[in-house]
Amino acid sequence: MKVSAIITLKKDVLDPQGKVIHQALDGMGFENISEIRQGKYFEIDVNENDPNKAKAVVEEMCKKLLANLVIENFKIIETQ
């Protein structure tokens, strides 16, 4: 089954890319944005039918490689 992981920067970590994207959008006329934070998205097809087991595997992946827990948080979403 497919499981997705969303990696986001923690609140107090500077995100210069997000800031620049914000400025660009602002310049394009999207003026009602208060903040943009850039993150990563992974779609993982796990050979596992039990959703809880599949999510547990992806959680381990996030902790061990996909996210750096010093600066990032992760959220796991069951997509299929």
Partner 1 sequence: MKSSVITFPGSNCDRDMDVALKKFGFTNKMVWHDDNELPNSDLVVLPGGFSYGDYLRCGSMASKSKIMRSVINFAKSGGLVMGICNGFQILVETGLVPGVLLRNKYLEFICKNVFVKLDNKENAYFKNLNKDILEFHIAHNEGNYFCTKDQLKEIKDNNQIAIYYCNKEGKIEDQYNPNGSIKNIAGIFNKEKNVLGMMPHPERMIDQSLSGEDGSIFFKNLINNIK
Task: Tell me the C-alpha distance between 80 and 22, whole Å.
Answer: 32
Residue 25 CB contacts under 8 Å (≥ 6 apart), including other chains? 33, 36
Give the binding range for partner 1 (CB under 8 A) out of 23-31, 43-51, 52-60, 67-75.
67-75
Task: Tell me the C-alpha distance between 58 and 54, whole Å.
Answer: 6
Give the binding range for partner 1 (CB under 8 A) out of 26-34, 44-52, 53-61, 64-72.
64-72
Q: Considering the rule CB under 8 A, would residue 71 count as an interface residue with partner 1? A: yes
Task: Tell me the C-alpha distance between 40 and 61, whole Å.
Answer: 14
Contact string 19-58 vs partner 1 (x = CB under 8 A): -x--------------------------------------
Kindly list the residues in this chain that would bind partner 1 in the complex (CB under 8 A).
Answer: 13-14, 16-17, 20, 65-66, 68, 70-71
